[in-house]
Structure 1
Amino acid sequence: MSVSGARGEGTLQVALADDQALVRAGLRALLGQQGVRVVLEAEDGESLLARLERTAVDVVLSDVRMPGVDGIKAVRRLRERGDATPVLLLTTFDEPDLLLEAARAGAQGFLLKDAAPEDLHEAIRKVAGGSTLLQPVSTDPIRSRYRYHADDAPIAPFTAREVAILRLLAGGYSNREIARAMFLAEGTVKNYVSAILEKLDTRDRTRAVLKAITLRVI
């Protein structure tokens, strides 16, 4: 398990893993401009895992496709050893398989490399705060690749407000953030989320979002 106490007040500290040195240099410079500090770098998942045992971070920012231990395998091994550090995976591949693999492995976020710099900064901030980020991935391939049978259809229709909350869940918003955005009490949002999970027959918010995308609820 990695060392605790990563962050100085107000400064996010990240680990950066990518097999291309130029990509790492570009991301390091970009993050530095945004007030995010890269405290360790790795060229593959194996090096990342070893260095995280000695250095604590707020977020791991890792490429998916790397030689040897790739980003998804690295996440899985982090979770197996009890390290819950949030992981944001980056990829140039808009593939629904990767999204599902990342979610199963325990990653909190999945972002395409062509995302805008401000989206990257927002994604890091959100996963550091405990949110899950799925929104940046194209939804159409997920729908075409993963089709649910009729038996998996929602137990009951969704209200307009539930659909709105589902969209915010897909964007990685917490119950508190949803409450502020929709002018609702946090307890009310929690009740809505519970109802949504029940209608989709799942206890997991990430799975609920994936299923809602596939069923064209959002």
Structure 2
Amino acid sequence: MTCLRLALVDDQALVRHGLRALLDGLPDIEVVVEAADGEALLTALDAQPVDLVLSDIRMPGLDGFALAEALAARVPAPPLILLTTFDEPDLALRAAEVGARGFLLKDASPEDLHEAILRVAAGETLLAPVPTDPVRARYAYRDQAPPSDTFNEREISILRLLAGGYSNKEIARSIHLSEGTVKNYVSEILDKLGTRDRTRAVLKAITLRII
């Protein structure tokens, strides 16, 4: 397999170097561009094309959201995964709205980061708006019967957004589907989980480690 060419963007040098060391230890990945802000990254891409951009959100100058919009205007547009240390669900929705293909907290495990990079590079959208471990630690949904069927990647993405408290309209906007299509997906998710509403569906999905 050919190595994926990555660009890494973070205004904090220590964080950037730490991520670089982590990424260099992952198979099938090569960091070919490092930048301290969005503007520097765009300039570097003129000389060195990449397969995926991994960027912090909060940076001086051109931040991660503005960078996402700038990358979307390029041809070809490399997919972007945004990273943040701030556990704020609204950030994930904003990331989706500006065209980012992935959103992860910086405390994600190396395995999760590696999987996210490979999946986004392959064309998937990966949003993780809320951490599920704290919920799983505090709540265990009483009905732990397995779902009636497996879940596809689209349904998993919608479940994650449901866990973030997003409405059908917000989900539709973030993953580029009609509101009616999202409503149908949600109904199918509830049926598979055997639950009556979205809250119960999310709690059961977290309990069963579906998300």
Where on the TM-score scale, by shorter chain, does this alignment land: which range?
0.5 to 0.7
Amino acid at match of 1:89: L
Structure 1 pair 123–170 and aligned structure 2 pair: CA distance change class (3 A): farther
Match 1:200 to one of 183, 197, 200? 183
**Equivalent residues in 2 for 1:24-43, closer than 5 Å:** 24-35=16-27, 36-43=29-36
**Equivalent residues in 2 for 1:37-186, closer than 5 Å:** 37-135=30-128, 137-138=130-131, 160-161=148-149, 164-165=151-152, 167-169=155-157
Amino acid at match of 2:13: A
Percentage identity across paired residues of the two chains: 52
Q: How big is the shift at 1:10?
A: 2.3
CA displacement 1:10-38 (0-9 Å, x = unmatched):
21110000001111111111111113211
Q: 1:22: which partner in 2?
A: 14
Q: How big is the shift at 1:113?
A: 0.3
Q: How many residues align?
A: 158
Q: Matches of 1:81 and 1:201 in 2, distance apart? A: 34
Structure 1 residue ranges, 4+ long, deviating more than 4 angstroms after superposition: none
Q: How big is the shift at 1:137?
A: 3.1
Amino acid at match of 1:112: L
Q: Matches of 1:92 and 1:199 in 2, distance apart? A: 29
| Secondary structure of residue in 1 paired with 2:128 | coil
| Secondary structure of residue in 2 paired with 1:200 | helix
Amino acid at match of 2:88: E
Structure 1 pair 58–15 and aligned structure 2 pair: CA distance change class (3 A): same
> TM-score, length-normalised on structure 1?
0.64
Q: How big is the shift at 1:73?
A: 0.5
CA displacement 1:71-108 (0-9 Å, x = unmatched):
11101111133442110110001112211111011000
